Amino acid sequence: MAEFDVDLFVIGGGSGGVRAARIAAGHGARVMVAEEYRMGGTCVIRGCVPKKLFVIGSHVRQELTDAAGFGWSIPSATFDWPTLIANKDKEIARLEAAYTANVEKSGARIAKARAVFEDAHTLRLSTGEKISANVVLIATGGAPNHGAAIPGLEHVISSNEAFHLEQLPRRILIQGGGYIALEFACIFAGFGSDVTVVYRGDNILRGFDEDVRSHVRSEMEKEGITILTGCTVTGVDKHGKEYTSHLSNGSSIASDQVMFAIGRHPNVANLGLEKAGVAINPSNGGIAVDHFSKTSAPNIYAIGDVTHRFNLTPVAIREGHAFADTVFGKRPVQVDHADIPTAVFSQPEVGTVGLTETQARAQFSHVDVYKTSFRPIKSTMSGRDTRVLMKLVVDGTTDRVVGCHIVGDTAAEIVQAVAIAVKMKATKADFDATLALHPTAAEELVTMRTPTARYVRDEAAE
């Protein structure tokens, strides 16, 4: 067997790559991690974590407004954007240091450099160093994609730049209708910006349950966010510090900032993949992998967003752990990608796990739907015009709960727990047998007794 400098070389110091490196080192492997930017990757540095901090900060405005209904008289509050940015930067720096320390404590070596393939076993670093590796893991993640070129595209920012704006925009136009677009729309609106969302589809949150899509849109519009669907931005002009976005419907919108959040693409460019024999999946543009995250090259694996399967941090972490156990722990582990819980940290928040109603009706012959929309207890005193949505989708033949969808405060926290029940194949009878915890919004999940809809597929029509 050829002698290599390391047993495992990881390209990318994000959540998935770090988990794989630490677990592999724990199994006794000699590990090296190359990260050209900052340890922690998209989630920690310019994604989930700073985004959630912004969400929490922007929600304070709503809390201040609601407080009056509970007897609080609060003097006029002021908000300072630079303070938010500075404090966010300090927290991200702390997390980056923690990620770095944890990798080094595991025994792995970190190279602050870009790594590209010279062949399947050789990596060349931007420092000039060459490393030979028995196994290589690609964990380079993804990056914002602005789509087709349009006039003035150079004036458009992505979520990356949104975390570092020098000042809060008074008016912002955001193109996109998914997680990132809606989360930032609510963040900026919460901090006081005038927000317009532009989306090409007929409604926001494509792929989510239809009731969730309509409920979130209604709630966002109640908060003063303008949502324009069925159109796109065709060009952006700059006039001093102001921008004019031209839309495909013939209208134009003035703003102080234009942000695109229309998708992300896998970071596969300029890695030398062709020299290593690593194939791209033509259907999604990510690196093609099997159930064990192995690429077309027998010693090279890929995990996380670079595979473009499920672009979620916990998925990358689970895939990284499974890879390390499989290859270096000699214990084959396949990641189960079914029933992955997910959240949209919009305001109100979305938490969901399992199948949508549409998916369930396509998959099962009998589907029962339990749905409720109600005013949360807090709004009865605050006077806020808002409603919570809760929905269970049930396989009518087996009584198994196959989907849960919630829109409202702490929806993600609730769904994380419900996901355990869905994963364990709990039935509606199991939910019904669980005592309610009162007074909570979540108690509705165990008190909905009567289906709001029942569907039986006409077998003759198939």
- Taking the C-alpha atoms of residue 190 and residue 330, their distance in angstroms, rounded to an integer, is 50
So what's the pLDDT on residue 12? 96
So what's the pLDDT on residue 318? 97
The stretch 125-154 carries a mean pLDDT of 94
pLDDT tops 80 at residue 265: yes
So what's the pLDDT on residue 461? 46
Q: Tokens standing for 425?
A: 């194949």
So what's the pLDDT on residue 312? 93
Secondary-structure percent of the chain, ordered helix, strand, coil, rounded to 5: 35, 25, 40
Q: Which 8-state DSSP code applies to residue 268?
A: -
Cβ–Cβ < 8 Å for 248, 390? no
pLDDT tops 60 at residue 442: yes
The stretch 204-226 carries a mean pLDDT of 97
So what's the pLDDT on residue 2? 57
The stretch 197-221 carries a mean pLDDT of 97
Quote the mean pLDDT of the chain.
Answer: 95
What stretch of H or E contains 377?
Answer: helix 377-382
Cβ–Cβ < 8 Å for 203, 229? yes
The stretch 202-229 carries a mean pLDDT of 97
Residues of the chain above pLDDT 70, percent: 99
- Kindly give, in sequence order, each residue whose CB lies less than 8 Å from that of residue 336, ignoring residues fewer than 6 positions away: none
- Kindly give, in sequence order, each residue whose CB lies less than 8 Å from that of residue 322, ignoring residues fewer than 6 positions away: 292, 293, 333, 334, 335
So what's the pLDDT on residue 457? 86
Cβ–Cβ < 8 Å for 32, 8? yes
pLDDT tops 90 at residue 304: yes
- Sorted by where each starts, the structural domains of the chain and their CATH numbers stand as 6-144+265-327 (3.50.50.60), 153-262 (3.50.50.60), 342-455 (3.30.390.30)
So what's the pLDDT on residue 459? 62
Please state, as a whole number, how many other Cβ atoms lie within 10 Å of the Cβ of residue 170: 12
pTM: 0.94
- Taking the C-alpha atoms of residue 66 and residue 190, their distance in angstroms, rounded to an integer, is 13
Confidence of residue 1 (pLDDT cuts 50, 70, 90): very low
Based on the residue annotation, tell me whether 265 is a catalytic residue of this protein.
no
Confidence of residue 460 (pLDDT cuts 50, 70, 90): very low
pLDDT tops 80 at residue 458: no
Candidate list 239, 308, 337, 438, residue with the active-site label: 438
pLDDT tens digits for 336-391? 999 999 999 999 999 999 999 999 999 999 999 999 999 999 999 999 999 999 99
Map residue 324 onto helix, strand or coil: helix
- Taking the C-alpha atoms of residue 125 and residue 115, their distance in angstroms, rounded to an integer, is 5
